[in-house]
Amino acid sequence: MKYILDRVYARDLIEWAYAQNPGPWYQHSVNVAQATENIMVELNGNGYELDVDLGYNAALLHDIGRYKGFTKSVIHSYDGYIFFEELGFRGNANVCVTHSFPNKNRHIEIAADWSLVPEHMKLKLVEILDKNRTYDIYNKIITLSDALADSEGFTTLERRLVSVGLRHGTNSNTSLHWKGFYTIKNELEGLLDKSIYKLLPGVENSIFMKVDY
């Protein structure tokens, strides 16, 4: 499965996307990439052999679908998938989708504003997730990092989830979605043998900042 390995090319792509649709999603993406790199470097120090450039670039570009403008729910995930499919980078295309679904193909309908997603997009997203039944460690790290970084920097999982919930709404099944992130967090912390927050410099500052909504 092909991924973008060149950081210069990845940076050029996100700069292009930002020019199409400027917004806080850009700095969020930069921070997600840094969180991903920090976690991977630590895991490699513990004996793993992860390609840090692969992970960093995939994290940096996970929201590139936002180049098309503001979209509700996971429509940007679909747009990002199509973007990378056309470029021939299936690995990056998959990450554009998987980062939005910590529970993989389970409870897919509880994604924020799922009812607003056009039917053809729903079918494609379900198909993609069905082909990625088992998330590899790259997908897991990027999915969690997406929930540990906002446009201001690193933040706690609880603060990030509440912020997203306030902006996009919640429903009776939201807790199932949130549990997916905690499952990944617990798994990665088991591999790291330490709290994930120890790898996110300045994360404590987020508790003093206002929550966006």
pLDDT tens figures, 77-103: 999 999 999 999 999 999 999 998 887
Does 1 reside within a domain?
A: no
Q: How far is CA 39 from CA 11, 109, 148, in A?
A: 20, 30, 12
Does residue 166 form part of some domain? yes
pLDDT of 166 reads 72
Whether 67 is covered by a domain: the verdict is yes
Q: Residue 45: which CATH number?
A: 1.10.3210
pTM: 0.92
How many separate helices (H) and strands (E) can be counted in the chain?
9, 0
> Structurally, how many domains does the chain consist of?
1
List the Cα angle 211/77/186 in 5-degree steps.
Answer: 60
Can you read off the two tokens belonging to residue 198? 């120890």
Whether 142 has a pLDDT exceeding 90, the answer reads: yes
Tell me, yes or no, whether 213 lies in a domain.
no
Is 181 inside a domain boundary?
Answer: yes
Per the structure, the complete domain to which residue 53 belongs is given by 7-208
